[in-house]
Structure 1
């Protein structure tokens, strides 16, 4: 593995992000990438979208928002999506992306980040727990709300 880095989503990387593959069963837990990318156009001040590169190859994508103006506190600082190409999973890329998100949260003075996901056998819960998210509640649609604390 080369040195991983994150870069802002751009016209040069958007096609590669749209072509990231999933392992069988993962697609039911992840909306199309274009949904997450559209968030930047809608809320450029609060949206944070980055690609993870291994050398020059896009191997992952992470989308979050900070300080969203919504009455539901779960959505104020939230990881919306993280996906790592199927061939690159289990190499630490997802953890690297979460750490980049935590660094961004820290720089913004945020004390926690939430993630909301659907529970299920092939779902992301084990990954989120491994990287430090702890379940704290449920949405009205029975999705899990988990939080990771940002330390200074």
Structure 2
């Protein structure tokens, strides 16, 4: 996997009136479109779930290169365990023109750091399997499958306290 791009201007920033058009212009490769919802849907979900959504533009210098959205402290399965609060990566879109440069690795790492800062000891993510699946990407970042399935997607977890997950 490639290292993060050599830029001291790489950061996550809130989606604002000044950058929303650039954020909406983020589009993954056509062969990935079935694996991740478009940014427009993510922003609508962030609006509807404002209490748990953490949407951010991935910016290198003044250029929006991607979008990441975390979920913070949601009750994962209220019927089974109403105390099971989880945080993790909800959506990751790196623009097709900017893939393979380490921006996705940076975005996930920065979102996970925010989750850790808020006191969580684990971060979760879900991914589709099959052709062009992001599974190798997430496994390479240290996520491990939990054995759970959510919405037809495999669930992975990353320990934030340094202990291995099972």
Partner residue, 1:33? 39
Q: Is the 8 A contact 2:88 2:112 kept in 1?
A: no
Structure 1 stretches lacking a partner, 5+ long: none
Task: Provide closer, same or farther for how the CA distance between residues 142 and 38 of structure 1 changes in structure 2, counting only shifts above 3 A.
Answer: closer
Q: Which has the higher strand share?
A: 2
Deviations 1:72-93 (CA, angstroms, capped at 9, x unpaired)? 5787313111011111111111
SS in 1 for 2:156: strand
Deviation at 1:45, TM superposition (A): 2.6
Deviation at 1:42, TM superposition (A): 1.9
SS in 1 for 2:23: helix
Q: Is the 8 A contact 1:75 1:114 kept in 2?
A: no
1:83-122 alignment runs, 5 A limit? 83-122=93-132
The answer to whether the aligner puts 1:134 opposite 2:144 as a matched pair is yes
1:55-94 alignment runs, 5 A limit? 55-71=61-77, 76-94=86-104
Deviations 1:15-61 (CA, angstroms, capped at 9, x unpaired)? 11221122231001011212211222223232111111111000011
Structure 2 CA distance, aligned partners of 1:147 and 1:112? 7
Structure 2 CA distance, aligned partners of 1:26 and 1:140? 19
Structure 2 stretches lacking a partner, 5+ long: 1-5
Q: Is the 8 A contact 1:137 1:145 kept in 2?
A: yes
Please, what is the CA RMSD of the aligned residues? Answer: 2.0
Q: Is the 8 A contact 2:27 2:38 kept in 1?
A: no
Structure 2 CA distance, aligned partners of 1:2 and 1:114? 27
Please, which moves more after superposition, 49-58 or 13-22? 13-22
- Alignment TM-score, normalising by the size of structure 1: 0.89
Which structure has the larger Rg? Answer: 2
Q: Which has the higher helix share?
A: 1
Task: Provide closer, same or farther for how the CA distance between residues 82 and 103 of structure 1 changes in structure 2, counting only shifts above 3 A.
Answer: same
Please, which moves more after superposition, 63-72 or 25-34? 63-72
